[in-house]
Amino acid sequence: MQYIEKYTSLDEILERIDLLKQEENYYEEDFNILGLADLEPDWIDYMGCTYNPHSNSMSFKDFFTQNVKAEDFLHGSGLNPDLVRTHLKTLEDGMFLLAFDDTSLNREVNRNSVESEIEKGPGDNF
pTM of the model: 0.76
Q: For 3-43, how does the pLDDT look when each residue is reduced to its tens digit (9 = 90+)?
A: 999 999 999 999 999 999 999 989 999 999 999 989 988 88
Domain ranges of the chain: 2-120
Q: For 107-119, how does the pLDDT look when each residue is reduced to its tens digit (9 = 90+)?
A: 655 444 455 455 5
If one counts every other C-beta atom within 10 angstroms of the C-beta of residue 61, the result is 13
Q: Edge-to-edge, what's the strand order for the sheet holding 50-54?
A: 2-7, 96-101, 32-36, 50-54
